[in-house]
């Protein structure tokens, strides 16, 4: 039953006050169950359903009634085709309710899975979220962690008793382990207010995506202005991403697998998802973790109809025993599958280089890109010319030393580049549509997006 509008002055609990802070002034109390508050309203004009676990009631533990309310709120969001935002601060299933509480938590998971890929699901963790309250956020599309947010399946006391490891909640499930090591958390916030604001921004980007307005395209800086003069120098791809977008986007999982950037933003007012190599980390190589990170982002964007832009500067896959043992083949295949299966418009811009198997994975024409552009001087090949001649002419080079070897490598590399054709061969064969000036990138991308019909994939957004 829908009740009266709620204001900060009438907020009776921490859960209610958090929801009031999250929502616009039109927040309406939908239900107050045992340990869970559900509201409807909007964020920056975008309609949403929101709920919060009430940590003042048995530590926010999830019982039969509260779980029912969360599951029904999720179904309500799906029925109306609008995002759902959950604020989590819970110790997990209620001990006093026994297996009935576990059954109720499972029903929450089932509702979240039904909603997966149909409406955006966002979780804001502002306190401990343990057991079932850890997997609740993990099943959603976006997890945002506040400064006191802690996510773990088993708490420090249990870990200490079972394994003998002495660990506290911060080290077990705080911003560093989940923002940098595990990839569970997409956004780490310094304050609760920042966490709630991030949820508002992401909900709007995913639901209220807008249309391309070509009049908004001019006026941005040349995105190549931050490229180093020496192509061998590492650089940060973030300024290039910002210059191509209308304004700075919202980066997801920025500290996990930072050799690949995943950013939500807008071009000409239209929401886009950007995947970009970052040469500042690991030289921009793809590895096991970044393949998984990019795959999850691609699937989320496809599920919600967000066009994809790939900005490419990749020398290949990171080699090494550690990578093979970490599953670079299995986890890298996730990106290949996600991109090839996507239905949304897909545009690729090769900024500097794109070599080998990583060329295929980073939005190649053969994998389904609608358009592939390259900046002047970009290199596309099985591998770099220098590396290629080291393999092809290893016997000839083995007898040379010092300057003679360097000169021979440079000479052979120049011949190899001319013979294999490089960028021009890519254009002639149709795997690159055009060589474009960096300053024209926004206009070219926007023109394609403006002509593309709105489409979204049919996939759920499984937590890869």
Catalytic residues: 131-132, 357-358
Round to whole Å and give the CA distance between 360 and 357: 5
Going by their DSSP bridges, the two strands 434-435 and 371-374 should be labelled as parallel
- Count of CB atoms situated within 10 Å of the CB of 20: 24
Count CB neighbours of 421 within 10 A: 14
Distance, CA of 122 to CA of 116 (rounded, Å): 11
Q: Which residues contact 112 (CB under 8 A, 6 or more apart)?
A: 74, 121, 136, 139, 140
Q: Is 452 helix (H, G, I), strand (E, B) or coil?
A: coil
Whole-angstrom Cα distance, residue 458 to residue 71? 22
**Minimal CA–CA distance to 112: which of 149, 137, 147?**
137
Closest CA to 342 of 290, 286, 296, 288: 296
Looking only at the bridges linking them, the beta strands covering 121-130 and 346-355 are unpaired
CB of 261 closer than 8 Å to CB of 251: yes
């Amino acid at each position: 039953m829908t009740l009266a509008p709620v204001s900060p002055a009438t907020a009776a609990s921490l859960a209610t006050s958090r929801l009031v802070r999250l929502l616009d002034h039109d927040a309406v109390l939908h239900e107050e169950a045992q340990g869970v508050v559900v509201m409807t309203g909007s964020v920056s004009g975008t309609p949403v359903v929101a709920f919060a676990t009430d940590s003042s009631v048995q530590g926010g533990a999830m019982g039969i009634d509260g779980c029912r309310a969360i599951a029904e709120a999720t179904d309500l969001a799906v029925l109306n085709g609008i995002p759902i935002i959950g604020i989590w601060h819970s110790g997990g299933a209620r001990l006093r309710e026994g297996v009935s509480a576990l059954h109720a938590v499972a029903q929450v998971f089932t509702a979240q899975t039904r909603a997966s890929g149909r409406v955006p699901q966002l979780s804001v963790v502002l306190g401990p979220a343990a057991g079932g309250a850890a997997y609740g956020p993990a099943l959603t599309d976006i997890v945002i962690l506040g400064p006191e947010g802690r996510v773990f399946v088993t708490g420090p006391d249990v870990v200490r008793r079972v394994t003998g490891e002495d660990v506290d909640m911060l080290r077990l499930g705080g911003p560093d382990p989940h923002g940098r090591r595990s990839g569970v958390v997409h956004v780490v916030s310094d304050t609760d207010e920042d966490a709630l604001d991030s949820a508002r921004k992401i909900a709007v980007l995913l639901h209220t995506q807008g249309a391309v307005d070509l009049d908004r395209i001019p006026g941005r800086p040349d995105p190549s202005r931050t490229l180093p003069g020496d192509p061998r120098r590492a650089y940060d791809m973030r300024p290039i991403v910002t210059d191509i977008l209308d304004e700075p986007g919202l980066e997801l999982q920025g500290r996990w697998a930072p050799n690949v950037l995943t950013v939500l933003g807008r071009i000409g007012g239209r929401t886009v998802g950007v995947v970009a190599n970052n040469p500042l980390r690991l030289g921009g190589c793809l590895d096991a973790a970044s393949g998984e990170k990019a795959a999850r982002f691609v699937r989320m964007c496809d599920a919600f109809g967000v066009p994809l832009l790939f900005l490419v500067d990749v020398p290949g896959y990171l080699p090494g025993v550690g990578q093979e043992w970490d599953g670079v083949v299995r986890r890298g295949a996730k990106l290949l599958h996600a991109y090839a299966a996507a239905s949304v418009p897909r545009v690729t811009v090769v900024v500097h280089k794109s070599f080998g198997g990583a060329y295929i994975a980073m939005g190649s024409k053969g994998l389904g890109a609608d358009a592939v552009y390259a900046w002047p001087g970009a290199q596309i090949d099985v591998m770099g010319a220098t590396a290629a001649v080291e393999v092809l002419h290893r016997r000839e080079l083995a007898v040379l030393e010092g300057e003679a070897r360097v000169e021979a490598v440079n000479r052979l590399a120049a011949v190899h580049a001319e013979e294999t054709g490089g960028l021009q061969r890519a254009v002639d064969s149709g795997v690159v549509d055009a060589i474009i000036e960096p300053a024209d990138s926004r206009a070219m991308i926007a023109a394609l997006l403006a002509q593309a019909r709105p489409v979204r994939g049919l996939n759920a957004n499984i937590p890869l």
